[in-house]
Amino acid sequence: MLIEIAYTYIFSFCSSSDPETIVKVGEGTFGEAFKIGNYVCKIVPIDGDLRVNGEAQKKSEELLEEVVLSRTVNLLRGNNKDACNSCRTFIETMKVCQGPYDAALIRAWEDWDEKHGSENDHPKEFPEKQRNAVFVCHDIVQGNILVNRSDSATLQFTLDGRHMFVKTYGLLIYIIDFTLSRINTGDDILFLDPSSDPDLFRVRSISEHEGRNRRLLGGSFARTNVLWLAYLVDILLMKKSFKRTSKNERDLRSLKKRLDKYHSAKEAMLDPCFIDLLLEHDR
């Protein structure tokens, strides 16, 4: 297999925790997420012929990108002091393993279904020898962008070899889903071609840019990151409810207009909206 999956069964991981504390915390088309102790496990059925949630199961080779990406992102957490780029708020994937559903996971799945009404197929429908890839992460996984409280006033990061600090205002931001990202691992460039799934995007401008750019052999097109920032501003303005003033809304709308002139997220970082957050440490 192209993926180096540790052959440890997921039920051995579950057995080390109190079964009553194992809960399902989310689901998607290709997998389920469970909280087990201090970790979250994302379980993805692989290599089977049975269609799962109406979709063909992923092959081991198709998970190569996600496995390599997870390991590469781990390296960006700043454990290497000589790293050119690093930030400790990158999510850490602890382990990738394989195995069947444990009884405690089945119970947790059924509890979720009773409370929320699952849109996914019941795991009991899988064949006895169904294989599952399991991504084990620290327990901070709640959505694609996670906001956590922090006691630290600043956060250090490294950008192009320059050590910087950013004001946190008591918050730490984690991006935890890199499915649509392009990454240069040093050995290869990994990316998903979104043009293969026309329903993948809900934002037309991003879909057009991403689809065209990904088809160009995984080339680097930093402008698409700015489009995602503008999309995030839209989400804050129209989809999220939080305490804000009319000035806050004007500032966000003004930021969205200014984003149109930037060609990369690094360039956008110098916008007046963000510049006061940055404290340069050294060069």
18 is catalytic: no
Evaluate whether 88 touches 76 at the Cβ level (below 8 Å): no
Using the structure block, give the residue that is written with the tokens 């392009």: 182
**Residue 123 backbone dihedrals phi, psi, to 5 degrees:** -60, -25
From the list 18, 139, 177, 188, the catalytic residue is 139
Evaluate whether 74 touches 66 at the Cβ level (below 8 Å): no
d(CA 161, CA 145): 25
Evaluate whether 232 touches 191 at the Cβ level (below 8 Å): no
For the record, the structure tokens of 41 come out as: 């496990």
For the record, the structure tokens of 63 come out as: 């998970």
For the record, the structure tokens of 6 come out as: 């540790």
Would you name the residues annotated as active-site residues?
139
